[in-house]
A and B are shown apart, each in its own frame.
Chain A
């Protein structure tokens, strides 16, 4: 059974940093692209970033480019999101998601974690 468990969320001041982790199990992690998707309180889904299975390719939505870094450790089946220079508008639940199939990029995400809440406030 695929399991994705996010951690690392919390309260951080504007301008601060936070590192999210997503521990994966139940599948061969290195074969699949992984994404981060966020959801601000009471709002819809917003795609944040994606990384290929081997970690060689990664992409970001414009609002986080140059502030967030996606990475992965395939030896530990773990996905990361390093978030720097955080802003109030980054406040959201952050979900990690597994790409469906081994195609790059995947055309959908077929497994999702339960999310971790990031609150940016002074």
Chain B
């Protein structure tokens, strides 16, 4: 089973700052990695698929990069509504389709 490790566990930044979230896989997943955003009390929402493709309706300030074992989700300029927990998920070596443990993004 592939293990995804996300860092940091919590990120606290001010509006307008750049956020960089990391997801590291225990073995290569190619580019079969997705990022999800989950706001409090809501269902997850797909942000990025296949490592670097923005899902429909996702603002351009969200971008994904990486391949193999190291992936990054970048939010170029934080907005207050970006408060959420962010999860990565791999779909190369399955089952299971493993998720990372999440990064909580707080706005100062």
Q: B49 to chain A: which residues have CB within 8 Å? A: 100, 107-108, 110
Give the interface size bracket for B toward A: 20 to 34
Within 8 A of B (CB), among A107-122: 107-115
A binding-site residues for B, Cβ under 8 Å = 35, 37, 44-47, 50, 59-62, 95, 97, 100, 105-115
Provided the pairs A35-B97, A59-B94, A107-B34 are in contact, do residues A45 and B46 lie with their beta carbons within 8 angstroms?
no
Does the CB pair B43–A108 fall under 8 Å?
no
Query: Closest residue of chain B to A113, judged by CB?
Result: B43
Q: Mark B31-71, 1 if CB is under 8 A from A, else 0.
A: 01010101000111110011000011000000000000000
Does the CB pair B55–A110 fall under 8 Å?
yes
B46 interface neighbour in A44, A62, A95, A100, Cβ under 8 Å: A100
Interface of A is mostly: strand
25 cross-chain CB contacts under 8 A: A44-B99, A45-B44, A45-B87, A45-B89, A45-B102, A46-B99, A47-B89, A47-B97, A47-B98, A50-B95, A59-B95, A62-B96, A100-B49, A105-B94, A107-B34, A107-B91, A108-B34, A108-B50, A109-B34, A110-B46, A112-B43, A112-B45, A113-B43, A114-B43, A115-B43
